[in-house]
Amino acid sequence: MTERKVSADELIAAVIKALDEIKSEDIQILDLREIENTVCDYFIVCTGTSNTHVNAISGIVQKQVSKIVKEKPWHVEGEGPAEWILLDYVNVVVHVFQKHIREFYDIESLWGDAKITTIASSN
């Protein structure tokens, strides 16, 4: 029996659902598929209000994605300081920032050629 590969759309939907539930701020999806030599197809970027909130966002995303689409991140980075946590799901990478760190790195500008979709919060 072969495992069904989860589509990027399914993974993104699960991540967005979790981000909305935990009240993440300023959620954006960067579509990198039209850019040459990218490491993945999509970035999902959001902001947490404190390191506690950033850690909680990371935890709920991992829990919900595992529950909804049965996927675990290939790699997780930054949980210690919790200023910028990266969840690498291979074709989708989730960046959870504290506001000042997000402003400093400004990855949306670094990937200025990406198609950016802003997700309206339901909160």
Q: Is the pLDDT of residue 1 over 50?
A: no
* Residue 3 pLDDT: 59
Every domain of the chain and the residues it spans = 8-119
Q: What is the mean pLDDT of residues 45-55?
A: 97
* Residue 120 pLDDT: 86
Give the global pTM.
0.93
State which fold the 8-119 domain adopts.
Beta Polymerase; domain 2 (3.30.460)
| Confidence bin at 71 (pLDDT 50/70/90) | very high
Cβ atoms of 48 and 57 within 8 Å: the answer is yes
